[in-house]
Each structure stands twice: as structure tokens, then as C-alpha cells.
Structure 1
Amino acid sequence: MILVTGATGLVGSHLVLQLLEQGQKVKALFRNEANKENVRKVFEYYQKSDLYDRIFWISGDILDIPSLEDAFQGVDYVYHCAAYISFEPKEEEKLRKTNIEGTANIVNCCIDFGVKKLCYVSSIATLGDLKEHETIITEETEWNPEIRHSDYAISKYGAEMEVWRGDQEGLEVVVVNPGVILGPLFWNTGSGEIYDRVQKGLWFYTEGGTGFVSVDDVVRAMIALMNSDSKGQRFTLVAETLTYKTLIELLAHKLKVKMPRFSAQPWMTSVAWCMDYFLGLFGKKRMLSRDMAHTLHHVEYFDTSKVKQTLGIEFQPIANYIESK
């Protein structure tokens, strides 16, 4: 039996679908009935509605240990996809509690219930910080605690520490560090919000960039790693590095909307995050942090040779993926 946390999110729902397609028995952890509808829509999107009824739904929360004890009964493998994503400074405590404490609970349950292997979905945000002579981020790039990181990145880094603790205590683990994950339907949460923003229209773009990957490739790699002999290792999952301008162009073409005409300069995003901070004092939800304003003008490149050599897989080009969806 396989347990998937965060089963109602982008990665979790696609993971549950692929596991069921392979004939696996899957327990899906969920917090409220409404979120289960997200999964149903994913199954309908791929015309796999017949598989939906095969899901063993388990009501629970990664912060509620008694509910986890029920969920872990008879489980051999765990995919920990549940996480809280926010770049709102006011939500630092919730980020740390959900991502770090929640992951600690999952790791402890894995150990207590004799789970054979755990796959944890982390982020490229935890991969580390380049030194002056370095140009490409790898799994071995060191995290520099002296450099400013977002609260989200810090919480995911702390969560990884809990997973590595489990590794030291004898639990077999693999960690995946996906780039910005692109996929259908989830336009109101996480990385999916970029679809919504492009659909509504953008005035500006920036020349920065980062690593992107499709949800299909993330899930495919996760399953392959769990079925492999790999353990105690992390793997970068990035199809390619794209500038934000290029990504917006691809999405605008697919969604048949206008491409933003103006390039935002660094001073403009600095002013924007300051205004965003000021409005946040009066209750407006923060949309842009200082860290985000900085990264919007820098391009990050990632080495994905490790996962390709380990699994012998190739990632689908982002342009092809967007056009196909």
C-alpha cells in the first residue's frame, strides 16, 4: 500500500493518477471534502474517471498525529507531497509549522510504522547558493545561511533536515528538488498562479529566469526513484532554464492573450515590492517580497545530469508541454 500526502494538490493528484494507472493501491490523505474535487477534475481532464473510485481516501492532517497513525496502517511506501506555499512574511510561522513540523511527523510515522521508503518533494529553492566562481547549481551546491533566503525556502530546507534525520535513523529516503512545476487546472495555487496572471493580462516582464519542469516529468521521476535502488540522495528535476519573458510568451500564445510590452527594470521591481510591503501593513495580501524582486532579474541554471544518469530519462521541453496542454 502507498500513502500520498498532499494528494489534492498539483503534484499529489497527478501522482495518485499515475500510481493507479500502474495498478498500485493508493491511500490519499485529504483535509476537507471540497479539495477532493480537485482530484476528480484531474482524472476527468485525462479521461481517467474510472480510476477515481479506486482511491482509498484518508481524512487527516500532517500536523495531527492521531490522524496520521490511522493513515499509516498497512503502508509500505510514502510520497510526501504536502506543503504550504506562501511568500507572505506574515505567514512565516505557518510555513515553518506546516513544512518543518509536518515533515517531522511524517518521518517519525515512517520510522514507527516500518515504512520501506519515503520520497519527499522539496524545491530547487533549497539546493544552495553559488560561489563567485560557480555558474551551475547542482545537488552538491552548499546552502549558505549567511545569504538572505525567503521564508518558504528556509521552511523547505528545514523540512529536508528532518528527512535526512530519518535517513540517519535507518529510513530509506529520496528527495526530489523540482523547479517551478507547470501543470493544468491548478491556477489559483502555487506555481499555477502564473497561468492565471498571464490569462488576466500582464503589463511587464523581467529578464530573469529559473528552472521549469512539467508535473508529468516530476511524477514520472518520483515513481522511478522509488522503484530504484537509490536511497539517501537528492535529485534536481528541471527540464530547462527559461527566462520569465520566454515563459510568459509561451503561455500567452497558448492562452491566446497579449504578451506584455514592457521590460521591468530592477528599480521598478524595487519600488513595487516597497509599495507591496506598505499596502500589506493595511491588510492587503503580499504579492511581491524583496527576495522575489531580486530573483526576477537573475537567471539560475541547474545541472540535471544526476537524475538523467540514474534513471536514463529525458525531460519534455517546456514549449512542447505547454502546447500539448
Structure 2
Amino acid sequence: MIFVTGGSGLVGSFLIAELVARGESVRALYRGENIPSIANAGQVEWVQGDLRDALGLRVALEGVTHVFHCAGLVSYAPQDETALLQINVEGTANVVDACLERPGIRLGYVSSVAALGSKSGEQPAGPVQLDETAKWDLGAEHNAYATSKYLAELEVWRGVSEGLQAIAVNPSVILGPADWNRSSTRLFRYAYDQHAFYTPGNINVVDVRDVVDMLLRLTLDTAISGERFVLSAQAIPLRDFLAQAAACFRRKPPTVAVPNWAAETIWRLEHVRSVLTGARPLITKDTARAGRRPVEYRAEKVQRVLGKSFRALSDTITWCCQELIAHQSTTKQPVPPAGVLGQ
């Protein structure tokens, strides 16, 4: 029996589909009143609960041999700092503790490249390159999301020190066809809506299918424990990514770069608006400054261990665009038929 948290999310939904295809018995955690509407949902034993319910997690792990902890909160809004600690850190601690109570369970944890931190001090010209050996700089300024993922990883390593068999994967921005009003899929919505503006800087990306495949193989098919693996296929300028996505949709790409001073002004205005109205800011200090300092995440380790390379970004973008056009029905924007998609 394999237990999955975050089954309704991008990684979790694709992971469950692959596990079912492998013929595995799957039990998955969900919040809310309704079972998630994902592929193969009827072949899954669903358990209603919450990561913050330590007792409920202990009960849910009865008879389980492997746990994939994919659930987590991704947010850069100041209002969510407490929730980030509760869900990402305390929730992960609860999962680890529940695993430790059942010796023999193996854990695959979905972390983030944000947990790697960043190199401080003077750096050579060109992109900063980070891999699994990156050390968290306690003296540096980190956003709340990155801090929560770093602290969550520490809970996993605590579990390893107490006898838990576990690995962690650190994906960059995960690309896949999902609700394009949520998470990284909003990048495709932005390209489809033909916005004129883009922010200078790079984005590191990886295909959700590669994330799931590598996570599965590391957790189910190896005995590796106590190690993390960066999952990132490519670093690309955000403008180029949006241009490729727009071309696939047969839409106009963004052409106007937002200067740094304008981004700094906008996030401050958004902060004031959010304080006065209680609404979530459309752009925060962290998102406004993201990508200014070129960073490239190196993923040679996982490719060497598994003997597998990443999919080409062009293939990922084409797949995502085609699937979004075919399956997205909740958007208010009219969408062209799949036949007009660029190849």
C-alpha cells in the first residue's frame, strides 16, 4: 500500500496516475468535502484529513509501505507566513513522525530548489550555479516560502537520523497541464492572454512527468536514503519561455520589459492595497525580484544515478499547451480548437 499526500496537486495527481498504471494499491489524503476530480480517482482509497492532524496521519499509514509526501503550500504573500510554517513544516514533521512509528516505511519527499538557499558573497560573472551541495546561509535574507521548505527538509533529515529511509527531490518550476488559474500553470495562462509585459530574468523549469518518474524510481526502485536530488531540466529567460508558449497557442508574445524601478514601485503599491483591503497582492517583493540574479540549478546527480535525462523544453511546452486547450473548460477566455495549435 502506497500513501500519497497532495493527491489533487500537479505532482500528486500525475503520481497517482502512474502508481495506478503500475498496478500499485494507493491510499491518498484529501482535504475538504469532496474527493478530488483527477484521473483514476475511483481506483484510489481516499482518506479525508489534514497534515496538521498528527493522529489522523498515524491511522492513515496503517499497512503502508511507502509514503510520497507531495502536499505543501506555495505562496509568497505575507499573509501566508504562518500557514507556510503550519502546513509545510509542522505538516512534514507529522508525516515523518507517523512514518517513524511504522518501521520499514520508505518516504519520498517533494521539496523545492528554494530549500537550497543561495550563495552569498561576491560571485563570478554569469549565472550562479547551485546543486545538492548548496548550504543554507543562515545570515542571508530568505523569503517565507523558501524558509518553510528548508525547515521541512530538516524534519525529513531528522527522521533519517532516527532510522527512517527517505529521499528528497528538489524540483524547480514544475510544468504540466493543470488548472491554469493556479500555481506554475498560470504562466501558460499569462502567455495565452497576450499580456504585453514581462520581467527580465531567468526561470528554471522541469516537466511534471520527469519529476514523477524520477521520484518514483528513487523511492521505489533504489535503496538510497538520506540524499536529495535537484530536478531541473533547463534555465531559460522568462521572455523566451513566454514567447514559446505564446507561439504554441498562436498568440502574441510579451514584448515590453518591466524595468526594475517599476517592479519595485508596483510591489510596494500592491502591499499597501493588500493591507488596506485585505486582498492578496498580485505581486510581492519576492515575486518582483525573482530572477534578477541569474541562477542555474544543476541536476547532473539524478541523471547519473538513474541514467535518465530530462525532456526537451520544447516538447514540454507543446504538450502542456495542447492539453490545456483540450481540457481547460473553466476559464472565462474563449480558447481556440486544438487543431490550430502550433507545433
Residue 115 of structure 1 deviates from its aligned partner by: 4.2
Residue 229 of structure 1 deviates from its aligned partner by: 2.0
Aligned match of 1:32: 32
CA contact (8 A) 1:149 1:291 kept: no
Aligned match of 2:3: 3
**Cα distance in structure 2, aligned partners of 1:294 and 1:192:** 20
Q: 1:146 is matched with which residue: 120, 123, 139? A: 139
**Cα distance in structure 2, aligned partners of 1:295 and 1:185:** 23
Aligned match of 2:304: 309
**Cα distance in structure 2, aligned partners of 1:296 and 1:284:** 25
Residue 35 of structure 1 deviates from its aligned partner by: 5.4
**Cα distance in structure 2, aligned partners of 1:159 and 1:24:** 27
CA contact (8 A) 1:87 1:287 kept: no
Aligned match of 2:206: 213
Q: Does 1:65 align with 2:54?
A: yes
**Cα distance in structure 1, aligned partners of 2:218 and 2:32:** 30
CA contact (8 A) 1:208 1:299 kept: yes
Aligned match of 1:240: 234
CA contact (8 A) 1:78 1:118 kept: yes
Taking structure 1 as reference, are residues 29 and 35 closer, same or farther at Cα in structure 2, changes over 3 Å only?
same
CA contact (8 A) 2:76 2:286 kept: no
Post-superposition Cα deviations, 1:174-222, rounded to whole Å, max 9, x if no partner, equal 0000000010022122212222222233221122013100110000000
**Cα distance in structure 2, aligned partners of 1:251 and 1:18:** 26
Question: Match for 2:187: what amino acid?
Answer: I
Residue 105 of structure 1 deviates from its aligned partner by: 0.2
Give the CA RMSD over aligned residues: 1.4
Q: Unaligned regions of 5+ residues in structure 2, if any?
A: 321-343
Aligned match of 1:173: 166
Aligned match of 2:152: 159
CA contact (8 A) 1:121 1:177 kept: yes
Indicate the larger mover: 105-114 or 197-206. 197-206
CA contact (8 A) 1:119 1:174 kept: yes
Q: Could you say what secondary structure the match of 1:211 adopts?
A: strand
Q: 1:229 is matched with which residue: 211, 223, 232? A: 223
Q: 2:243 is matched with which residue: 244, 249, 260? A: 249
Indicate the larger mover: 262-271 or 162-171. 262-271
CA contact (8 A) 2:88 2:149 kept: yes
Aligned match of 1:53: 42
Q: Does 1:290 align with 2:285?
A: yes
Aligned match of 2:196: 203
CA contact (8 A) 1:207 1:298 kept: no
Question: Match for 1:288: what amino acid?
Answer: I
Residue 289 of structure 1 deviates from its aligned partner by: 1.9
Indicate the larger mover: 303-312 or 123-132. 123-132
CA contact (8 A) 1:199 1:255 kept: yes
Identity %: 35
Q: 1:258 is matched with which residue: 252, 257, 263? A: 252
Aligned match of 1:123: 112
**Cα distance in structure 2, aligned partners of 1:93 and 1:260:** 35
Aligned match of 2:326: none
Residue 116 of structure 1 deviates from its aligned partner by: 2.4
Residue 286 of structure 1 deviates from its aligned partner by: 1.4
Indicate the larger mover: 228-237 or 291-300. 291-300
Q: Does 1:111 align with 2:100?
A: yes
Indicate the larger mover: 108-117 or 292-301. 292-301
Indicate the larger mover: 180-189 or 89-98. 180-189
Aligned match of 2:325: none
Question: Match for 1:298: what amino acid?
Answer: R
The number of aligned residues is: 314
Q: Could you say what secondary structure the match of 2:214 adopts?
A: helix
Question: Match for 1:209: what amino acid?
Answer: N
Residue 291 of structure 1 deviates from its aligned partner by: 2.2
Question: Match for 1:242: what amino acid?
Answer: I
CA contact (8 A) 2:270 2:282 kept: yes
**Cα distance in structure 2, aligned partners of 1:183 and 1:4:** 19
Post-superposition Cα deviations, 1:63-119, rounded to whole Å, max 9, x if no partner, equal 112321221110010000010111110110011111000000000000002242101
CA contact (8 A) 2:191 2:243 kept: no
Question: Match for 1:291: what amino acid?
Answer: D
**Cα distance in structure 2, aligned partners of 1:24 and 1:55:** 10
CA contact (8 A) 1:5 1:12 kept: yes
Q: Unaligned regions of 5+ residues in structure 1, if any?
A: 44-50
Q: Compute the TM-score of the two structures, normalised by the length of structure 2.
A: 0.88
Q: Compute the TM-score of the two structures, normalised by the length of structure 1.
A: 0.93
